[in-house]
Homo-oligomer: A and B are copies of this chain.
Amino acid sequence: MQENILGIIGGLGPMATAYFLELTVKMTAAYRDQDHLRAVLMEAPDIPDRTAHILDRSKPSPLPALTGYAKKLEALGCGCIAIPCITSHHFFPELQRAISIPLLNIVEETARHLRENGVRTAGVMATTGTVRTQLFQRALAQEGVGCVLPDGAHQEMVMRVIYDDVKAGRPVEEDVFGEAAAHLRANGAECLILGCTELSLANRDRPLGPGCLDALEVLSRAAVLACGKPLRPAYHCLITR
């Protein structure tokens, strides 16, 4: 397999980017520094807010800045690009047209990982903004995986965990997370997608339980493989047991 330099557009947010980088290191079956993947990271927290533009088109679009960084990474010799931010994937079709190296798609890779591991129906835990973009719904449908979304009250619980807990630097309220999770499972979800990088960070600090799939881990796994590096065996299937 050809070795690629990984391009990363980061800073959306910055903590998820650092964790993504850590995950690629952990997942690579390397026995010395020189076995690890090469990468160029453009940490660009100044890119206009993605959700703000999706909800209100009069707000500045992040697309011109994303395109600029993607072109720079291509010019620097990167073979593929990862963006450890789920909402930004809303802009991927246009972004992909602007460059000739592949974008690794966190949403499509997550849906594929579920299908490849025999999951028939998945629940989505993501921001209300991400749910509205239909990113996960479409990707799951494309892979033939059923999709369960929380109802209004339970979606508010997911948002409470993301905003009032993780973004505010507090531990996840386990009863709130647990109630939203139980609701999705009662509606047929065999596996819960942690579809927001704040949930990935919460899961890093204290595992959110079995039957979850962290989308950021999926992107990291895809990046290691796309760079031609071998995976550590523990990371072949990422669904928690």
Contacts and interface: CB of A to CB of B under 8 A. Distances in A.
A35 interface: yes
A58 interface: no
Contacts of A109: none
A15 interface: yes
A14 interface: yes
Interface stretch (A17-25, A115-123, A207-215): A17-25
A197 to B, nearest CB: 11
Contact of A14 (B19, B36, B46): B36
Contacts of A170: none
Central interface residue in A12, A33, A36, A76, by most chain B CB within 10 Å: A33
Q: Tell me what chain A mostly uses at the interface: helix, strand, loop, or mixed.
A: mixed
A2 interface: no
A171 interface: no
Interface in A1-49: 6, 11-15, 17-19, 21-22, 25-26, 30, 33-46, 49
Copies in the complex: 2
Nearest to A22: B18
Contacts of A40: 40-43
Interface in A163-204: none
A39 B41 contact: yes
17 contacts: A11-B33, A11-B36, A13-B36, A15-B25, A17-B21, A18-B18, A21-B43, A33-B49, A34-B45, A34-B46, A34-B49, A35-B45, A37-B45, A38-B46, A39-B43, A40-B40, A72-B76
